[in-house]
């Protein structure tokens, strides 16, 4: 199927909206748009970061998911208490595959679940005593922890527990940072507010801890911010930066430690990968510590080279040479990857629906493989995300914000992409529809996808999914029409 024209795409949106009642239709209409590169500001064509409509299937998370799951969770040498009932922590435990080095349960705690396991009694009489006891117990059982964060679940805010007071008292007792985070799930419209709350907690409780302490810096210190090391992403990014001569002081927060985070105010530049979840802290550090920040994109060789040059431009000639050296070193390797997979993937069309950065960041990687992204959307993006997306997407492509289950299915039925990239909740619907699918939240249990090494894996995975022989076997043999069979034999 050839690409849709602007009119066809508009008609498609109208057709999908048809089934909604009048009020819902009016609301959802604002979240669906046809991309127009001439528009400077996204808000003229699409509304985002609004409350989801009751009754539709949304796949958004909550503020707790944004704070504990995304920002705080990967800090490996801290213990993150899921304060409240047991479910929130247990069902989200280790699901994001934030890799780290260390001995789990001894000096790192990334995949473990710590919870205060609220019962009726705690809701009625308050859970502060339980929290204090829990922190003492943690200190006895896991003495090598470097700090504790208290991630509030919904009931904490509802019953009005004073976790700040408990945390301050406990911090004095155990002489380690204890950070209360007010990330109750009911706050905000999606996990996005959780990111913000988590950033604010880091700003208030972590960054000031080393102010005025000596630090042996170099002119080439940088921090990698907003890389959660999913499947090893941060490692494949970090080696490139180090190879070009920079010193990576901190990784936020994949495979990161609290000590690294405390040292971040001493770096020369903050490099932001996930803009959505960590721009707040970057802005704060720019204001308070005068550290400039820049966004970069490590998906696909074109964007990696672009980003490496942009990063190097902030430093002296030594780094600039280093960047060129790195690009030249990997260029033939990447050409080999492209030569191998491009013929198999050329011209394939992709629809994406991911979280807060990949809907625009991975477009470059697909384009390097000769593929085209025909629709993209954010679960919890804001206006500034769409501002940045409009330029990266082709004209007359689909944009959908907080897409509902129904809308997404209909779009895929009509646009007929060759590949859909989204989360686990969509995966099996589309696979049962016979559409090849990649789970792009945690790389479908593969990865890394960042950097040059990541691109080779990305290309292999896309080929493995798209050209899997199973897609030709979607119909039972006895239902196959004879001419289709003949065609297959001929092929």
Partner 1 sequence: MANIMIQRGSKTEYVFYLPKRDLEDDIISMEFNTPEKWGGEIKLNNGGCYYIEPQAAPARLPISLRAKRLDAAE
Q: How far is the CB of 387 from partner 1 (least distance, A)?
A: 8
Least separation in angstroms between residue 286's CB and partner 1 is 6
Nearest CA-CA partner of 81 in 181, 206, 155, 169? 181
Of 196, 450, 169, the closest CA to residue 304 belongs to 450
Q: Which is nearer to partner 1, 49 or 264 (CB)?
A: 49
| Tokens (6 digits) for 162 | 């004073």
Nearer Cβ to partner 1, position 280 or 315?
280
Give the nearest distance from C-beta 45 to partner 1 in angstroms: 13
- Residue 252 tokens read as 């936020």
Q: How many angstroms separate the CA atoms of 75 and 46, rounded?
A: 35
CB of 386 to partner 1, least distance (A): 11
Residue positions annotated with a catalytic role: 62, 65, 96, 195
In the numeric block, the tokens 């929130």 are attached to 88
Which residue number, 2 or 290, has a Cβ lying nearer to partner 1? Answer: 290
Residue closest to 241 by CA, chosen among 300, 306, 323? 323
Cα maximum dimension of the chain: 79
Nearer to partner 1, 97 or 276 (CB): 276
List of residues contacting partner 1 (CB under 8 A)? 41, 43, 49, 192, 196, 280, 283, 286-287, 290, 382-384, 387
Question: Which residue, 205 or 275, has its beta carbon nearer to partner 1?
Answer: 275
Report, in Å, the least distance between residue 279 CB and partner 1. 9
What is the DSSP code (8-state) at residue 52?
P
Work out how close the CB of 367 gets to partner 1 at its nearest, in angstroms, rounded to a whole number. Answer: 24
Residues 247 and 139: their CA atoms lie apart, in Å, by: 33
Write down the residue that tokens 């009911």 correspond to. Answer: 186
d(CA 211, CA 227): 24
The residue (of 22 and 287) whose beta carbon lies closer to partner 1 is 287
| Cβ density class 206-225: b for 16+ within 10 Å, e for less | bbeebeeeeeeeeebbbbbb
| Cβ atoms 204, 198 nearer than 8 A | no
The residue count for the chain: 491
Main-chain dihedrals φ then ψ at residue 149, nearest 5 degrees: -120, 140
Q: Kindly calculate the radius of gyration of the chain based on its CA atoms and give it in whole angstroms.
A: 24
What does DSSP assign to residue 211?
T
């Amino acid at each position: 199927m050839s690409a849709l024209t602007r009119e066809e795409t508009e008609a498609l949106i109208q057709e999908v909206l048809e089934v909604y009642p009048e009020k819902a239709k009016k609301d959802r209409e604002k979240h669906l748009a046809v991309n127009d590169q001439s528009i400077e500001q996204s808000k003229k064509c699409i509304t985002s970061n609004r409350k989801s409509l009751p009754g539709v299937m949304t796949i958004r998370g909550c503020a707790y998911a944004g704070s504990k799951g995304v920002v705080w969770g990967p800090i490996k040498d801290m213990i993150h208490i899921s304060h409240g009932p047991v479910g929130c922590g247990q069902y989200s435990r280790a699901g994001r595959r934030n890799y780290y080095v260390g001995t789990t349960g001894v000096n790192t705690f990334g995949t473990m679940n710590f919870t205060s396991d609220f019962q009726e009694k705690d809701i009625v009489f308050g859970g502060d005593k339980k929290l204090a006891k829990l922190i003492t117990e943690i200190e006895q059982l896991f003495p090598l922890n470097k700090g504790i964060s208290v991630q509030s679940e919904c009931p904490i805010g509802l019953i009005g527990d004073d976790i700040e007071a408990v945390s301050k008292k406990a911090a004095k007792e155990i002489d380690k940072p204890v950070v209360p985070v007010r990330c109750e799930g009911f706050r905000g419209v999606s996990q996005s507010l959780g990111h913000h709350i988590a950033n604010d907690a880091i700003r208030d409780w972590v960054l000031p801890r080393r102010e005025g302490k000596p630090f042996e810096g170099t002119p080439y210190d940088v921090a990698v911010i907003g890389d959660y090391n999913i499947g090893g992403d941060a490692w494949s990014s970090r080696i490139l930066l180090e190879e070009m001569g920079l010193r990576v002081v901190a990784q936020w927060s994949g495979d990161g430690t609290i000590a690294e985070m405390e040292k971040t105010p001493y770096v020369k530049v903050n490099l932001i990968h996930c803009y959505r979840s960590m721009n707040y802290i970057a802005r704060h550090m720019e204001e308070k510590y005068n550290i400039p920040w820049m966004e970069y994109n490590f998906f696909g060789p074109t964007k990696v080279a672009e980003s490496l040059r942009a990063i190097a431009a902030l430093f002296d000639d030594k780094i600039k040479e280093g960047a060129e050296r790195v690009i030249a070193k990997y260029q033939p390797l990447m050409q080999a990857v492209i030569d191998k997979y491009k013929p198999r993937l050329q011209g394939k069309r992709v629809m994406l629906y991911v979280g807060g950065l990949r809907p625009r960041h991975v477009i470059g990687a697909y384009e390097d493989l000769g593929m085209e992204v025909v629709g993209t959307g954010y679960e919890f993006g804001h206006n500034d995300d769409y501002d940045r997306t409009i330029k990266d997407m082709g004209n007359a492509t689909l944009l959908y914000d907080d897409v509902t289950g129904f809308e997404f299915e209909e779009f895929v039925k009509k646009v007929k992409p060759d590949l859909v990239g989204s989360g686990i909740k969509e995966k099996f619907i589309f696979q049962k529809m016979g559409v090849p699918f990649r789970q792009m939240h945690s790389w479908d249990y593969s990865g890394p996808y960042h950097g040059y090494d990541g691109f080779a894996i990305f290309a292999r995975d896309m080929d493995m999914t798209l050209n899997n022989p199973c897609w030709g076997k979607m119909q039972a043999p006895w239902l196959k029409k004879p001419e289709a069979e003949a065609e297959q034999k001929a092929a």
